[in-house]
Every structure is written in structure tokens, then in C-alpha cells.
């Protein structure tokens, strides 16, 4: 039995994880725009039930390298152009730096999925509180999600699943849960995004490089915004949020940006 769900209630990751475990459910598919902005897709699905489900959420605006460089030069921020931004950022995350990640087309929906994200090392629980308090300015109890790569998913979870849109909470294997306290909830679950190379090669490479350094193929992922503000869309918005928070670096296209301090 397969079921496509939508509506704001479908953003309840814990509920979705429980539903997927039911014996009657064989394939639970939840699109990334599980709210009012998904109404058009839901209507089309009703009229065209054989319509192919989407396999990625990167349908938003994007900005080319020249446009981004122009904005950076106008900001007077320090930046370098990296030969491999994924490897450079992975090295920073190993050092427990907090990095804003702005790459390619923006995600559609409520979740940051590796296009407009704030990233950190999930192995250090202190970073969770630091991001909540000093970066996003919100309550300390607020949890974070983890992005993992598809090839390593069974190191984290027991059963087959392919949750690309961070819409389900999974029970994490105990030995792994102890390694990633920054993204595991009190009930030993985590809201996972399973990243494929086909959907987001640059983000997949970052997690792969981070895993080669730490032994854990996961990254703490939260939306690139401040508390009660929308996720950033443009380079100008990215720079504004970066300057008004205690993040260490901004990785925007191939540019690695630091503050003039």
C-alpha cells in the first residue's frame, strides 16, 4: 500500500516515521512541500496518478558565479575561490567550525536540504547549543537534523528507507547515536535527509569527505536563517545573515568567505 500525503501535518517527522513502520505501508512518499505551497502538486497527482514523483527539491532560484562575485566585492568581505568547495568545507567542519552553505538552486519547501543550510560537525554536542543560542537565537531545546549519504545509511538505521526530504524521524542504531549526539533526539531518533549523488553531488561529496575524516558520514544541517526569519534566497540575504550571526564561514558557490575581524 502506497500513500502520498501533504498538508502541514505531514511535516511531523515523528508521526511519519511511525506510519512508515506500519505493516500495511510499503512505500510512504512525502514531498518536500508538505504545506499550502504543495497544493498544486497534490491536485496534479489526483488527476494524473501516474505522474512521476520528484526525486529532489532543488527547484528554486540560482545565481551564477559572476553575480555572486559582484555581490561579494561590494560587501568588502574577505574571500577566496576554492578549487573544491566541498573538501574545503569538510576540513573546516572537522575543526568544529560552523559554515553557512549556499549552493545552486534553492530548495522548495520548509526544509533546508543542502542548498541553503548551516552546517556543523554532528559529533560535538556543544555545537548544538552554540548554534541555537549564538547563531540562530532560539531556545536551546530545539533539535537539529542530520544529512547522511545513501551509501552509508545502514550504519545509521536498520530498515530500508529513502527519505530525501527530511520528513521522517528514524530510530538510530545505538552505537551510531553515541557518535552523533548533536543530531539525536532524547528518544534516540533523528530527522534524517538521505542524500544521493544524483540529487546533490556537491553536498554528497562534502558529507563523504567529512566521513573520511571523522568516520561518521553525516553532517548537522539546519536552515540558513535566523530565528523567525525565512530561509535566505539571494547572495545579498546570505551575506546579511552571515554578518549578523556567529557563524565562522560562508561557502557560497566556489567562494569561501570570512568576516573582516
pLDDT band at residue 89 using 50, 70 and 90 as cut-offs: very high
Per-residue confidence (pLDDT) for residue 232, from 0 to 100: 98
Q: Dump pLDDT digits (tens) for 127-149.
A: 999 999 999 999 888 889 999 99
Does the pLDDT of residue 72 top 90, yes or no? yes
Write down the mean pLDDT value for the chain.
92
Per-residue confidence (pLDDT) for residue 90, from 0 to 100: 98
Per-residue confidence (pLDDT) for residue 7, from 0 to 100: 57
Does the pLDDT of residue 163 top 90, yes or no? no
The more confident residue out of 65 and 19 is: 65
pLDDT band at residue 160 using 50, 70 and 90 as cut-offs: confident
Averaged pLDDT for residues 74-96: 97
Does the pLDDT of residue 157 top 70, yes or no? yes
Does the pLDDT of residue 185 top 80, yes or no? yes
The more confident residue out of 28 and 5 is: 28
Domain ranges, ordered by start, for the chain? 2-47, 65-258
Q: Tell me the percentage of the chain whose pLDDT exceeds 70.
A: 96
Q: Which fold does the domain 65-258 belong to in CATH?
A: DHBP synthase (3.90.870)
pLDDT band at residue 2 using 50, 70 and 90 as cut-offs: very low
Q: Dump pLDDT digits (tens) for 95-130.
A: 999 999 999 999 998 899 999 999 999 999 999 999
pLDDT band at residue 31 using 50, 70 and 90 as cut-offs: confident
Indicate the length of the chain as a whole number: 261
Amino acid at each position: 500500500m502506497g500513500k502520498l500525503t501533504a498538508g502541514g501535518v505531514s511535516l511531523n517527522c515523528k508521526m511519519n516515521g511511525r506510519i512508515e513502520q506500519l505493516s500495511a505501508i510499503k512505500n510512504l512518499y512525502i514531498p518536500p512541500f508538505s504545506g499550502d505551497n504543495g497544493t498544486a502538486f497534490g491536485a496534479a497527482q489526483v488527476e494524473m496518478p501516474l505522474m512521476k514523483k520528484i526525486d529532489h527539491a532543488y527547484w528554486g532560484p540560482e545565481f551564477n558565479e559572476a553575480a555572486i562575485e559582484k555581490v561579494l566585492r561590494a560587501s568588502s568581505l574577505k574571500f577566496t575561490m576554492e578549487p573544491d568547495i566541498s573538501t574545503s568545507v569538510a576540513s573546516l567542519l572537522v575543526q568544529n567550525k560552523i559554515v553557512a552553505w549556499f549552493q545552486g538552486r534553492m530548495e522548495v519547501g520548509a526544509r533546508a536540504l543542502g542548498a541553503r543550510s548551516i552546517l556543523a560537525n554532528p559529533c560535538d554536542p556543544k555545537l548544538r547549543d552554540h548554534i541555537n543560542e549564538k547563531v540562530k537565537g532560539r531556545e536551546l531545546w530545539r533539535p537539529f537534523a542530520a544529512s547522511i549519504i545513501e551509501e552509508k545509511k545502514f550504519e545509521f538505521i536498520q530498515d530500508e528507507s529513502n527519505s530525501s526530504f527530511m520528513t521522517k524521524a528514524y530510530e538510530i542504531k545505538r552505537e551510531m547515536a553515541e557518535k552523533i549526539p548533536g543530531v539525536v533526539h532524547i528518544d534516540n531518533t533523528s530527522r534524517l535527509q538521505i542524500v544521493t549523488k544524483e540529487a546533490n553531488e556537491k553536498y554528497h561529496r562534502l558529507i563523504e569527505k567529512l566521513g573520511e575524516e571523522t568516520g561518521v558520514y553525516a553532517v548537522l544541517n539546519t536552515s540558513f536563517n535566523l530565528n523567525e526569519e525565512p530561509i535566505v534566497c539571494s547572495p545579498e540575504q546570505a551575506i546579511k545573515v552571515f554578518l549578523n550571526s556567529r557563524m565562522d564561514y560562508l561557502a557560497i558557490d566556489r567562494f569561501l568567505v570570512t568576516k573582516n575581524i
